[in-house]
Structure formats: structure tokens, C-alpha cells
A and B are shown apart, each in its own frame.
Chain A
Amino acid sequence: MSARLDRIGLVFVLLLAAAAIAVPALSLGVPESSPFSLPPYLVQLFGKYLCYAILAVALDLVWGYCGILSLGHGAFFALGGYAMGMYLMRQIGTRGVYADPILPDFMVFLNWKALPVAWWGFDWFPYAMLMVMLVPGLLALAFGWFAFRSRVTGVYLSIITQAMTFALYKEFFRNDFGFGGNNGLTDFKDLLGFSLQSASTKAALFSASAVALILAYATARAMIGSKYGKALTAVRDAESRMRFLGYRVETYKVTAFVVSAVMAGIGGALYVPQVGIINPSEFAPANSIEAAIWVAVGGRATLVGAAIGAIAVNFAKTWFTGVFPEFWLYGLGALFVLVTLFLPRGLLGLLLAPPRDKAPTPEPPALAVEEGADP
């Protein structure tokens, strides 16, 4: 990673830290009549962008640096979100429509008598937070173990990641599965005793998201900077060479994939209390593809670019869907095509000087095709 990119990263972290302080200050400390006052709905909107940025950084870690184009990362994000949603459901208690102290409303509605085992412990915050990380992490471990050990790469891998998120999408739709069916989980009241409706909770969630994004960036940056990171990029560029050097390529990929999934899960967990709902549509294959577009727009293999891409594209989406709602998907598609054609290194590529002393070809391959020793 170039020194210049590191400086941009530092500026980005400082801006985030400043936002983590300034946004609550402007939202809570400035009277509403002032032109500098930030209405809570905007705080919430920005907080949501930051959660998407965490997902983008997670995806860039595996796609940008290891060539794994996961088109199922939305699933890890959604699983983290569901784990948080389950905690929030249990917090509702007797304030639900049916006022059952244990069972969430949808279970009473389905005439269930007891809490399913999967829901046990979710009233305890630390356990729920553990699950936020453990569930996506374990799914990534199992999925990655089989996929990478069988040497599934390139488009084939992308396709099965789509299948993974689509399978979960279908499964979570079913009422019998026990997570609220197509309605998902909603009507949340409070988090750790703080009302989700209050401006101060919204400001705190924004700051928490900013801090989580900083941590996600710092973790990914530390991994990339280590010898492990060099090996990971080497796997991306010449996988079979790494095998013949004695590296267990699949272990390197699985590690990155699991760390990335956990990061995505944390992003999802912060997202749910800010948007107030989690339902199966979060697993929709299109969501995961959109995340890949954010990364491509921002700039692959830059981490900061991925975060900027997520924020910029979602900002554009908010604006676009407000003005020309039916044209957003065309706009997104056009953006992707234009960036691929004219900005192969993404928005961040505009800030990065062309690398000196470098052949024109070695861009990170979009879809790493099996290279190497074939005669």
C-alpha cells in the first residue's frame, strides 16, 4: 500500500473521528432554530451510510486484496442485523401489541407457546453481540472452507456466493424458520434502556458507527500491512505460485473471508437500530451486488475508497430516489459502466498519482482466472 494512500487513510480516519464528535454536538447542542442544527433524521441517514461503508471495507478486504469477488456479503451484514434485531425484539417485552413478556408479537400471532431455542439468551446484550460476530463468522468459515478447499475461484465463486445469500433470503421468508417471516423484526423500542426514538440515542448510534468504521479500517489496514497481507495479494495475483512456494492458500483465503464476514456482521448490527427494521429483503442478491458496485466506484484495493464509494453511491441513491425514483437502477448501472470504463481505479484513483515505475498492465484482476503452470 502506497504512502500516499496511507495519508489519505489517515485524513479519512481523522474526518470520521471529527464527525463522531461534531454530529452529536450539532444535533443535540445546537437549538433547532439554528441553521447549523442537524435534524435527527439526517443523523440517522448518515449513520446508515457509515454502516454501508463498513460493509464496503469488509468486501474490499476480500475482493480488492484477495480477488474473492463475493456477491453474497449482504448475507453476513443481514445476519449481524438479525442478531441485533433479536436482542431488540426481546427488549420490547410487555410493550408489544400482545404484551407477552417473553414471546415477540409475531410468535404470539403464530400461536407459538414457547421461545425457540435459537432465541434463547438474546435478551442478554453481550450474548447478542457475540452472536452478531459469531453467526456470520461461522457461516463464512463453513462456506469458505468448502469453497476454497475445492479451489472454486472467479465467477464460479461469485455465483455460489449469490446462491448462498439467495438461499438465506428464501429461508428467512418462511414463518416456520422463526425469525418473523417476510415482516422480519421491527417495532423496536429501546437499546440498553435508551429509547431508539430519542435524538440522543440516534446521535450515539451515529458515533458508534463512525468508531466501528474506524476500527474496521484499522483492522483491515493492519492485516494488509503485515506479511500476511503481502501473501494475500500474492494469492490474488498468482495463486498457484503461492502453492508451489508452500503456502496453504485456502487458509489465507478463509481467514480473510471470516474476518470480512465478522466486520460485515457488525455493520449490520449497527444498521438495524438506525433503520428500525430488519427483514429478508436485506438478503436479496441485488443488495450484495450493489455493495460490490460501491467498492468498484470508490476504488478496489484501497479500503478508504470502498468506504467513500459506499457513502457517495448511497448519498446519490437517496437524492436520486427522491427526485427520479424510477430511474435509480439505470443511474446505478450507468455509474458502474462509466467507472469501469473511465476510472478503473475508482474515485480514489483520481487522488492517487499514477504509480511510478510500473508496467501499465498489473491492475488487480476483476475476476481472478486460474493462472500459472498449465502447459
Chain B
Amino acid sequence: MTLADTANPTLTSSILYLDGISVSFDGYKALRELSLVLQRGEMRAIIGPNGAGKTTMMDVITGKTRPDSGEAMFDGKYDLTRLDEADIATLGIGRKFQKPTVFENHTVEDNLLLAVKAPRGVRATLFGRAEPGVRATIDRILVTTRLQDHRARVAGSLSHGQKQWLEIGMLLAQDPKLLLVDEPVAGMTDAETAATAELLREIARTHSVVVVEHDMTFVRELGVKVTCLHEGAVLAEGTLDQVSAHPRVVEVYLGR
């Protein structure tokens, strides 16, 4: 299907449009005809049991995994199935991993410096001067992520929660249009979880966000539309109360 013959209003108005995505690994079907549409500026929470395909879905969106079939469009015009990770990141999709992944040997500031939106080529980084405004951006993000007192610390020495925030900060520094956040509160204390929910709500004011999370308290605090995945397909979609009341969701995920 080419763009010319797509008079599909859902496609053009959405930031992310997945239609009939299937992925299988050695016969195991990780995603079966998964469809999902995210509107511009929307925040969506994805829940589902282990093996539901949440991470695989993120891999498809970010170019790590090629789907066997289906359509994945970003911003109404970019075919994500034809691009690789670096291209997709440059288009404006940022991703936070399940396990916090920061550059452990670099300082907090250098982690953000590497993430800040700027030319990514070798020539630019080898010979280029620092772009004006980078410092201000880094300062602003340090405040948002409550890391302003840790600027010069080596990232490897941060606490687990601080690493999670630093990674979210790196995502913000990229200034993406869409953020994919995989289990941001895993291993966090209750206070940290609440603070992270607040941080994400703040981010969602200016970005489209997809959050994968198991923590139901956290999902409730986010207060956004929820999609429940099961065995690689959408099981239910709606408010958290609607989804929680869905008999199949109770059966496969929430438990009786």
C-alpha cells in the first residue's frame, strides 16, 4: 500500500499506526496481527502478562526487529519497517529499556550531552563545536529529573531509581516526538514510583508516550487509556476500570 492511496484519516492524524503486525521467532508467534493507533499527544499504558509481546512491539517500532507482515507508520508518513534503529531514533522515537541502560563510565552530564539532539555524524562529533543552548537544555533536564546535584557523578554510581530518571532525561534530551518507556518503575520505592508518575505526566503534556508497566498502582496514577496485550494481540482497550472489568483480562492477567 502506498501513501497516495491511503485516504485513511486515522493514519494521517496518528503519531503511531500499527496494523496487522506479526512477528515470529523460530515458529513462536510473538505478535499476531497486532494493531494499535496512538494519537498525537496521547499517553498510552500497555499492560499484559509476560510473553504478551510488549517488548517485541517496542522492538518493531524502533527498528530492532523486522515484522514478518503488517504495517507500521510513524507520523503519518514514515514506514518504520524499512528503517533501522539510528534512522528511527533520528526521526524522533526515543526508547527507554526495561533494565536501566545508561553509560556507566560517563558522568551524568556527559550522558545527557550524548543524548541531546544534535548532529550525530562522526565529523560533527570529532571536529564540531558544542552547539549553543546545549548547556541550557542539560540544566533544564537535570532539574526535571531531579539530578541537578549529581551532574558530575559517574552514572554507574547512581542509585537504581536515579538511573531510571537519568535514562528518561536522556530521552527528553533527544527531544523525540514519541517516547517508548519500558517498565519505568520496576524496582522503585513507592515514593520514587509516585515521583516517576508525576514526571511522565509532565512529559506527556508535550510528547506522545507509550508506557509498558506491570505496576497497576502506577498505571492508575497515570490515569490514561490502557491497552492490554495477550499472546501477541490486543485483548482489551479502554480506561483502566473498563479493562480491569474485562472478563478475559481478569482471567489471563489480573487473576481472580
**Taking beta carbons and an 8 Å cutoff, which residues of A are in contact with B?**
223, 226-228, 230-231, 233-234, 237-238, 240-249, 251-252, 255, 355, 357-359, 361-362, 364, 371-373, 375
| Structural contact, B101 and A245, CB atoms closer than 8 A | no
Question: Are B103 and A241 touching (Cβ within 8 A)?
Answer: yes
Judging by beta carbons under 8 Å apart, are B154 and A362 in contact? yes
Name B62-86 residues within 8 Å CB distance of A.
Answer: 62, 64, 84-86
B125's partner among A226, A237, A371 (CB-CB below 8 A) is A226
Is B121's CB under 8 angstroms from A248's CB? Answer: yes
Q: Are A362 and B64 in contact (CB under 8 A)?
A: no
Q: Which residues of A contact B188 (CB under 8 A)?
A: none
Residues of B within 8 Å of A362, CB to CB, are 104-105, 154, 156
Query: In whole angstroms, what is the CA distance A345 to B174 when docked?
Result: 34
Chain B residue with Cβ nearest A259: B126
Interface check B191, CB cutoff 8 A: no
Q: Is the CB–CB distance between B55 and A244 below 8 Å?
A: no
Q: Are A241 and B97 interface neighbours, CB within 8 A?
A: yes
Residue B89 lies at the interface, judged by CB distance under 8 Å to chain A: yes
A96 to chain B, nearest CB (A): 46
B201: Cβ under 8 A from any A Cβ: no
Contact between B113 and A230, CB atoms less than 8 A apart:
yes
Q: Is the CB of A375 within 8 A of B98?
A: yes
A230→B122 contact, CB < 8 A:
no
Specify which chain A residues have a CB less than 8 angstroms from the CB of B120 in the assembled complex. 245-248
Interface: B106 (CB within 8 A) = yes
Once the chains bind, are A246 and B89 in contact (CB under 8 Å)?
yes
* B122 touching A245, Cβ below 8 Å: no
Counting chain B CB atoms within 10 Å of each CB, the highest count among A255, A358, A373 belongs to A373
Residue of B nearest to A373 (CB): B97
A230 touches B126 (CB 8 A): no
A372 to B156 alpha-carbon distance, docked (Å): 15
Residues of B within 8 A of A361 (CB): 104, 156
Residues in A whose Cβ lies below 8 Å from that of B122 = 228, 248, 251-252, 255
Q: Is the CB–CB distance between A227 and B86 below 8 Å?
A: no
The 6 closest A-B pairs by CB, nearest first: A246-B89, A243-B85, A228-B126, A228-B125, A362-B156, A362-B104
**Contact status A245-B154, CB under 8 Å:** no
Chain B residues lying within 8 Å of A230, measured Cβ to Cβ, are 106, 110, 113-114, 125
Nearest to A374 among chain B residues (CB) is: B55
Q: Which of B95-120 contact A (CB under 8 A)?
A: 95, 97-98, 101-106, 110, 113-115, 120
Residue contacts A-B, CB under 8 angstroms, 29 given? A223-B126, A226-B126, A226-B127, A230-B125, A233-B103, A233-B105, A237-B104, A240-B64, A241-B97, A241-B101, A243-B86, A244-B89, A246-B89, A246-B174, A247-B86, A248-B122, A249-B86, A251-B121, A357-B153, A358-B157, A359-B104, A359-B157, A361-B156, A362-B105, A372-B97, A373-B64, A373-B95, A373-B101, A375-B98
Which residues 148-176 in B have Cβ within 8 Å of A in the complex?
Answer: 153-154, 156-157, 170, 174
Complex Cα spacing A227 to B110, Å = 9
B128–A234 CB distance below 8 A: no
**Within the assembled complex, what's the spacing in Å between the Cα atoms of A142 and B150?**
42
Looking at the complex, which one of A227, A233, A247 makes contact with B113 (CB distance below 8 Å)?
A227
Pick the contact of A234 from B62, B94, B114 — CB < 8 Å? B114
